[in-house]
Structure 1
């Protein structure tokens, strides 16, 4: 096997710290990956990986070699792809993941238009409120809502959404309208368990962070279900503004505690930090950016 492919295997193992995961990513066997990295080490005259029965780690030589190896592989792939893609239409399978409700409300329409414009592309759209690993799950692109933690990914900002504290007028007319977050523990609350702080809601009071412990009457792991419960008058909840924008404009729901809001969340399109992106990925990124930007009221309240 040529050195480029051996270097590609080493790069995949270094990224996943696993021969089996690297093999799955490359569509080969773990034994083949191990054999070719051994051959690469023999040709270089150094050990690149420490291997035990449980873990794989980079040696000092491996850490020094990895960034140069990645550059060579990326430049080779970029050159080959440029030559192949010159004038070609996007083609192949594209794996995209997004939060369930955002995907159903906004991404689906854009995906339908993209498929109509690119008949040689197929899309595996995985809607999940759990963050899927782009490497382990073989995902090309991921829509995420919230502050990003993973610095190994490139993010293109599609927009932002706010977290709105709201309730139906029927509930508020009966239970009263809270004027301060500290009044929330006395209210019936509907809690979205997808939030990272169970039983707590965060606000901003005079520039300082304020956390309130609530006693939810209902817990549910769906923003759509929270919206439905709020509309039926079950209490107060916190919901992304894109979910309840129409309800707020129509008066079916009423926004509360707006002076204490400080919770804008970016909506981002994420992909792996490679220098070269395939034509299908590049075309989808540009298409989705334009489609989301054209949705003038997608997040207006």
Structure 2
């Protein structure tokens, strides 16, 4: 009788250990990517990016289920046409696979110093053309591209917005007129004046046509060529959108940002990148002045 009880106890203990072992992988969270410290990272939102001589600005950092690291900028940064060619469903652009570099100190004189390398792996423009997209708002404002950071440079990346911190997530309900927005970036046309990198602006609400795809705004320091692709945060630190165009009419000197929630949803559905997602900043949002 005693032997039987011991056998039962041993069997129960063995079953419990097997069950525990099966549950452990589900209970242990996936380790976070080892991001570079925010104060020493070389590749962050707002860094200059060069594609075949064309300079743009990064918006946010993204990752996927395989722990690849991506930096976003505007799809038109790889465009082959004129600055006025803003219809992503018609304008020609460089193909996926094009090399892109991350630079600092770029100016009108030269491209500055290369601090990292990557490869264009997704372009909303190229994708919309392949899929035959016709919706005018999508064609005009779906302006997001993703550059995969080389394995050698992943350790240089931090997802936090310099100065402001965040992002704290993705804004999903658009902006209202008067909402404060924050951005960071330094076009090569500004002669490397870092003082002009942090930007504060006010939203003018959703686009005058009522689409959520675009949010026009005014910045204290307006976005200029080279700032294209810059990311914008809401007053709560959430990622609102990416700088697409300089508005000429009906709101002169305004900037139009594409809605990141819609842009990223489109990329998730069409890019073939499994588990694609925005990475929140490691630093808390502190945008309020």
Question: Do the structures match in fold with TM over 0.5?
Answer: no
Higher helix share: 1
Rg (Cα) greater in structure? 1
* TM-score (structure 2 length as normaliser): 0.26
